[in-house]
Chains A and B, each alone.
Chain A
């Protein structure tokens, strides 16, 4: 069983939709949680990070962590064509070694 599971998609939504991206994990000691956005042929770009449980909001993006269910989510409101990318979740126990999901491919259709 992988440390981190992420549905690869692909996910296709109309412009303006609310997008929900999710990851599950098996290691209850994980306490650092990240979301990255990766455009084609580029390096991953840090989007959101949270420590421990709870919600964090940044503009159109909201990250949620539910440690009791070992489940994290990223919500994108008012999705735009420029949001079309692959989204990777990542998590760590210590903040030094991170485990990544395989990524979810998102396309926002104008």
Chain B
């Protein structure tokens, strides 16, 4: 257990509305990540952060923004949700284990955009 919580766990929203997902960690890890998981595509990186106010884009960043004002919180925002953003969103942290950096995941947020 890497002490990662995500909120909300489920959300249904309408096209065009803004949505913010929250990831919270309790262990002060430097690296945090947002992924989306879709059938046939697996896990794809949206954005990641390597410190407070330090973020970078991943493979599928269009339509998403992130913010990290505190070490423990990493927010993902969909400025204007579209149906193509219906997905399961996972937050992850990078943690050193046995000399190797490994990723640990939160429980996920299931987002439906109608």
Contacts and interface: CB of A to CB of B under 8 A. Distances in A.
Interface string A27-59: 000001010100001111110011100000000
B105 interface: yes
Q: Interface residues of B: mostly helix, strand, loop or mixed?
A: strand
Interface residues of B, number: 25
Interface in B56-114: 58, 90, 94, 97-108
- Interface extent on A, as a size class? 20 to 34
The 6 closest A-B pairs by CB, nearest first: A95-B101, A43-B105, A102-B42, A100-B43, A100-B42, A44-B105
Interface in A52-110: 88, 90, 92, 95-98, 100-103
B94 to A, nearest CB: 7
Contacts of A103: 42
